[in-house]
Structure 1
Amino acid sequence: MGPLTMWAAYDEIADWYETEFLPTTTPGDPLGIRRAIAEQLGPGHGRCLEIGCGTGAYAAQIRELGWTPFGVDLSAGMLGYAVGRLPVARADAARLPFRDAALDAVITVMAHTDMPAYPAVLREVTRVLRPGGTFVHVGVHPAFCGGFADRDDQTAVVIRPGYLDGHWTKASWTDQGVRARVGASHWPLAGLLNAFLAAGLELRGFGEGGSPTPAVLSIRTSSASR
């Protein structure tokens, strides 16, 4: 399933995402997403690109940390809500419209499962980051979230066959989430970490969020100093 399909799918759910999904999932930071941004990105200055920025839900926090945020996304519908929260452009994450070594930091928040070509996205991140620049990945936890994970009982996640398959699916333990509406790709943990290394990114730190079983994995990396 290609990026343009994802763009069309998110256009169809943009209103639901902004007005129904976000208000029920972000208050109180139940998954530790905002904590991950604070810990892995941290205070800084310069331009910070958010890949897959969606409606711009995290732009204010990035700005509060001292960065100058701007975002890219394929969905015009999602970007319609992001306008006013941060400068945005409609663009393919695997072909970013920036020159080499142009950016101080890059972040993606809960979006990598929407990118079937995520290794190519990581290579683009390496290209556009300045030497020593920071890339932060905040995404669903590959070991505990996916079509193989039944989270209906929040005290005991059931892991079924399929973790190692690494495929695109709409299978989900709930019909109230994003995966059931537009699908999601899955990257087993080893494949995900190896994609960072293959892109030339240096691993700097990790975090997990959500309880009692983690739902979010955050990774801090940097581009090689040249």
Structure 2
Amino acid sequence: MAVYDAIADWYETEFLPGSTPGDPIGIRAAIEALLEPGRGPVLELGCGTGVHAAQLAELGWTPLGVDLSTRMLTYAKKRLPVARGDATRLPIRDGALGALVAIMVHTDMPDYPAVLREAARVLRPGGTFVHVGVHPAFCGGFADRSDPAAVVIRPGYVDGHWTKDSWTTEGVRNRVGATHYPLPELLGAFLAAGFAFREFREGGAPVPTTLSIGAVRS
């Protein structure tokens, strides 16, 4: 059973409605800037409950979703066409898609480098991949964000590990855990998968919460 099955109802009915309104950590701004308007299908890897589908559609794309969690997909299917599947083994032929997105999910994937290789496989040359994720340098079990004015960075950033350690008991990491990828490891995985970087964005203030990457399949 996918770990998110156990928290899907809480995620949909409590966590999302309780989130700060607007775009405080820059997720929507990053999607708009890095994906840009387009046509045709865009596949969201780890789509969860499908909360980003409306924005993808607003940009002209036809959103599709894949996720391992059956319970999360019961909510997502109300928002976009979905399939249960592993992002490291997509049931899609080589070079079939023009765009993929992964939004706030890379720390949920134990082998994100394999996900990137699979994304490159199913993208056509020149296709766009948009990654929006927690910032590797300022978010993780090593980062205490309880004071919004000053993030405290403790030892652990360079280790790269899975943890449930969190500065808050109201979030996702303390419930399902997260895998930490130091910045060089994360960026190196993009290059190893065959992507060329196009643009980077950071979101959140005063210390960034998200790091977003726009990449192109070479």
Q: Given the two structures, how large is their TM-score scaled by the length of structure 2?
A: 0.99
**Aligned mate of 2:50, from 47, 56, 61:** 56
**Aligned mate of 1:35, from 29, 32, 45:** 29
Superposed CA deviations along residues 139-191 of structure 1, whole A, max 9, x for unmatched, are 00000000000000010000000000100000000000000000000000000
- In the alignment, residue 73 of structure 2 is paired with which amino acid? L
The whole-number CA distance in structure 1 between the counterparts of 2:124 and 2:40 is: 11
3-state SS in 2 of match to 1:56: coil
Displacement, 1:84? 1.9
Which runs of at least 4 in structure 1 moved beyond 6 Å after TM superposition? Answer: none
Equivalent residue, structure 2, for 1:22: 16
Equivalent residue, structure 2, for 1:216: 210
The whole-number CA distance in structure 2 between the counterparts of 1:44 and 1:70 is: 14
3-state SS in 2 of match to 1:198: helix
The whole-number CA distance in structure 2 between the counterparts of 1:34 and 1:85 is: 17
Equivalent residue, structure 1, for 2:38: 44
- In the alignment, residue 198 of structure 1 is paired with which amino acid? A
The whole-number CA distance in structure 2 between the counterparts of 1:97 and 1:147 is: 34
Ranges in structure 1 where 5+ consecutive residues have no aligned partner: none
The answer on 1:188 being equivalent to 2:182 is yes
Superposed CA deviations along residues 3-29 of structure 1, whole A, max 9, x for unmatched, are x6xx1x200000000011111225211
- In the alignment, residue 56 of structure 1 is paired with which amino acid? G
- In the alignment, residue 197 of structure 2 is paired with which amino acid? L
The answer on 1:117 being equivalent to 2:145 is no
Equivalent residue, structure 1, for 2:77: 83
The whole-number CA distance in structure 1 between the counterparts of 2:15 and 2:146 is: 18
RMSD: 0.8
**Aligned mate of 1:101, from 76, 81, 95:** 95
The answer on 1:11 being equivalent to 2:27 is no
Q: 1:65 to 1:26 in 2, by over 3 A?
A: farther
**Aligned mate of 2:161, from 148, 154, 167:** 167
The whole-number CA distance in structure 2 between the counterparts of 1:123 and 1:218 is: 18
Equivalent residue, structure 1, for 2:67: 73
- In the alignment, residue 48 of structure 1 is paired with which amino acid? V
The answer on 1:149 being equivalent to 2:143 is yes
3-state SS in 1 of match to 2:56: helix
Ranges in structure 2 where 5+ consecutive residues have no aligned partner: none
Equivalent residue, structure 1, for 2:121: 127
3-state SS in 2 of match to 1:202: strand
Report the identity percentage. Answer: 70
The whole-number CA distance in structure 1 between the counterparts of 2:104 and 2:18 is: 16
The whole-number CA distance in structure 2 between the counterparts of 1:187 and 1:157 is: 18
Superposed CA deviations along residues 170-225 of structure 1, whole A, max 9, x for unmatched, are 0000000000000000000000000000000110000000111000000000111x
